[in-house]
């Protein structure tokens, strides 16, 4: 893993939170290299014992404009709860976005993204 080009951007956070290191590395690679997110920065969230990734999601073919999202990586082995999400929103501070993505990684590098909003949100038409 050390030889991977993404590693130098993440070294400090990978060693700070070793239990979340695999998920962070996989999600960072997926976002920057496969999903082609731009202006990616990594945010340290000590209360959640992990780092989050903030970046600009490219506009999709359906015509939505590019927008900034925060992604919280976690692995399938962890068990999470609603208080976990509450802590995540709280750690993101006062200008936290309305919705975040939770990226769940599996051991074969499959990643699924779930959009979590603060409170009940009516689905779009």
Q: Which residues bind to other proteins, rule: CB under 8 A?
A: 1, 4-6, 14, 18-19, 21-22, 25-26, 29-30, 32-34, 36, 38, 58, 60-63, 76-77, 79, 104-110, 112
Q: How big is the CA angle at 68 (ends 5 and 64), to the nearest 5 degrees?
A: 115
Residue 17: DSSP 8-state: S
Residue 90 or 112: the one with the smaller Cβ distance to other proteins is 112
CB of 22 to other proteins, least distance (A): 4
Q: Please state the closest distance from residue 2 (CB atom) to other proteins, in A.
A: 8
Q: Which residue's CB is nearer to other proteins, number 9 or number 96?
A: 9
Place of tokens 């962070």: 24
Among left, alpha and beta (phi > 0; psi -120 to 50; other), residue 74 is beta
User: Least CB distance from residue 76 to other proteins, whole Å?
Assistant: 6
From residue 109, give the alpha-carbon distance in Å to each of 16, 24, 27, 75, 112.
Answer: 22, 12, 9, 10, 10
Distance of closest approach, residue 113 Cβ to other proteins, in angstroms: 11
Q: Which two tokens stand for residue 110?
A: 């499959």
Instruction: Name which of 47 and 107 has its Cβ closer to other proteins.
Output: 107
């Amino acid at each position: 893993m050390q030889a991977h080009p993404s590693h130098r951007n993440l070294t400090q956070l990978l060693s700070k939170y070793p239990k979340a290191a695999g998920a962070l590395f996989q999600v960072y690679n997926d976002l920057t290299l496969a999903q082609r997110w731009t202006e990616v920065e990594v945010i340290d969230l000590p209360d959640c014992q992990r780092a989050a990734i903030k970046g600009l999601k490219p506009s999709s073919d359906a015509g939505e404009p590019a927008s900034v999202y925060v992604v919280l990586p976690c692995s399938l082995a962890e068990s999470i709860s609603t208080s976990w999400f509450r802590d995540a929103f709280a750690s993101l501070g006062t200008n936290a976005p309305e919705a975040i993505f939770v990226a769940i990684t599996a051991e074969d590098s499959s990643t699924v993204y779930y959009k979590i909003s603060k409170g009940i949100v009516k689905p779009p038409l």
